[in-house]
Structure 1
Amino acid sequence: MSNVWHNRTLALAGIIQALNSVQQIARQGNAPIDTVAASLASVFKMNPKSAEDVYGNIEGISVGLQVLNQQLNRKSYRTDPELLRYLTNIMYLEQRLKKRPRILAQIADQIKHIEPQTEEISPADPRIIARLADTYVNTISTLTPRIQIRGEETHLRQPENIERVRALLLAAIRSAVLWRQMGGTRLHLLFQGRQLLYETHTLLKRIPRAGAA
């Protein structure tokens, strides 16, 4: 049972990490490239050996775990209604997507064509991001309701930011697929917060502290 919750927590942190980067880009015009790269790399893990393998390692999902911890630990932190709204929308879109096998096949086909490039350049390279953004526009963006991103218009009008946001939303969907595959439901978010918080703490303890030998 613990392993099931371990995997669900990783998947949820994956969604949160991608959406947190979307928020940073929309509000500030940028997000840490290592965090963005880790989220985008998960898109190409179509046949992972484990849930952890989707993110490379626990360190790759560290930001998502930290933000998830804050959202679940309501005694110490304020919840972010905007982030939770994005999360709900992503999970709803994933539910709609699983009923569209043609679109799922189209996404898989496009990702397979992009993947060879990642052997030479980072998933966060603008060329990869542009192709992932196109994949999002041609597939998930055709579903309704479309996710409305809020932030500074100055940042949201920039073409490179638009592409990064779309690519990250695709990464969020990928983690939402993993969440569902691990048996995760919206009811778990409502009624199993303690279990998720416990697993989040357990996973965060496995991440080496900066500067530790």
Structure 2
Amino acid sequence: MAKNYYDITLALAGICQSAHLVQQLAHQGHCAGEALDTSLKSVIDLNPPSTLAVFGNDESNLRPGLEALLGMLNSSSRRGAGAELTRYTLSLMVLERKLSASKTALNTLAERIAQLDRQLAHYDLNSDTLLGAMAAIYVDVISPLGPRIQVTGSPAVLQNSQIQSKVRATLLAGIRAAVLWHQVGGGRLQLMFSRNRLAREAKQMLSRMSGPSL
């Protein structure tokens, strides 16, 4: 069966967007608010009608992720920000495979996310309560699957408990995107053998965002 590279690229951009946001949070203590909202909202929608619907039905919601994906596909650097982004992205993929292999973890995850949905009736998505709840899901359900993702950045920033919660909530969103990536036919081999195809899809989406030249 032919792969749907549009959906695969969208989901992969979702993983890269989470990785990019984790980088921003860990180094600067803040990140792009709209991109974070897109990623966090994706965690709660477990029965979307389409891949794009997971990310708010708008390609432009994934602009940072698509740009990060292109940077990762075009980079041969083993050091610096590009290498860090690649490490986070690949680590999320590894954790997702371990999650998918554990029926217990999957059931617990579904139950905990259903609770989140109920809390959304009373709290804002970006509230400390919701971010704390998402972070707790990551710590309780995902982290024990191992290996743990070592987040690097400013030690002063990473000591802040609110930043820690945001980072873990964002990693949970990365796991959500990685689950979606596998559901639509994504696999690690594509990163080795289909880089040009993925890059072409990402460029096409970004070119649609920039609009027509005047």
TM-score of the aligned structures, taking structure 2 as reference length: 0.91
Q: What is the distance in 1 between the residues matched to 2:24 and 2:95?
A: 22
Q: What is the distance in 1 between the residues matched to 2:144 and 2:160?
A: 22
Q: What is the distance in 2 between the residues matched to 1:3 and 1:206?
A: 22
Which of 90, 104, 107 does residue 106 from structure 2 map onto? 104
Q: What is the CA-CA distance between 1:207 and the residue it aligns to? A: 2.0
Q: Match for residue 67 of structure 2?
A: 66
Q: Match for residue 6 of structure 2?
A: 6
Q: What is the CA-CA distance between 1:119 and the residue it aligns to? A: 4.7
Q: Are the counterparts in 2 of residues 33 and 124 from structure 1 also a CA contact under 8 Å?
A: no
Q: Does 1:50 align with 2:50?
A: yes
Q: Match for residue 209 of structure 2?
A: 207
Q: Are the counterparts in 2 of residues 26 and 155 from structure 1 also a CA contact under 8 Å?
A: yes
Q: What is the CA-CA distance between 1:183 and the residue it aligns to? A: 1.3
In structure 2, the residue corresponding to 1:49 is in which secondary structure? Answer: coil
* RMSD after superposition: 2.2
Q: What is the distance in 1 between the residues matched to 2:97 and 2:20?
A: 21
Deviations 1:127-166 (A, max 9, x none): 2111100111110011111111011100111000110010
Paired residues in the alignment total 209
In structure 1, the residue corresponding to 2:4 is in which secondary structure? Answer: helix
Q: Give the partner amino acid of 2:63.
A: S
Counterparts of 1:72-87 in structure 2, within 5 Å, are 72-74=73-75, 80-87=82-89
Percentage of matched positions with identical amino acids: 37
Q: What is the CA-CA distance between 1:3 and the residue it aligns to? A: 7.2
In structure 2, the residue corresponding to 1:47 is in which secondary structure? Answer: coil
Q: What is the distance in 2 between the residues matched to 1:8 and 1:23?
A: 23
Q: Point out the more displaced range, 109-118 or 129-138.
A: 109-118
Q: What is the distance in 2 between the residues matched to 1:185 and 1:79?
A: 23
Which of 171, 193, 196 does residue 195 from structure 2 map onto? 193
Q: Are the counterparts in 2 of residues 14 and 64 from structure 1 also a CA contact under 8 Å?
A: yes
Q: Give the partner amino acid of 1:53.
A: A
TM-score of the aligned structures, taking structure 1 as reference length: 0.91
Q: What is the distance in 2 between the residues matched to 1:157 and 1:79?
A: 21
Q: Does 1:33 align with 2:33?
A: yes
Q: What is the distance in 1 between the residues matched to 2:210 and 2:154?
A: 35
- Unaligned 5+ runs, structure 1: none
Q: Does 1:183 align with 2:185?
A: yes
Q: Give the partner amino acid of 1:116.
A: R
Deviations 1:60-80 (A, max 9, x none): 2111112212222349xx971
Q: Are the counterparts in 1 of residues 75 and 82 from structure 2 also a CA contact under 8 Å?
A: no
After superposition, the Cα gap between the structure-2 partners of 1:3 and 1:48, relative to the gap in structure 1 and judged at 3 Å, is farther
Q: Give the partner amino acid of 1:52.
A: L
Q: What is the CA-CA distance between 1:106 and the residue it aligns to? A: 0.7
- Unaligned 5+ runs, structure 2: none
After superposition, the Cα gap between the structure-2 partners of 1:122 and 1:65, relative to the gap in structure 1 and judged at 3 Å, is farther
Q: What is the distance in 2 between the residues matched to 1:128 and 1:9?
A: 28
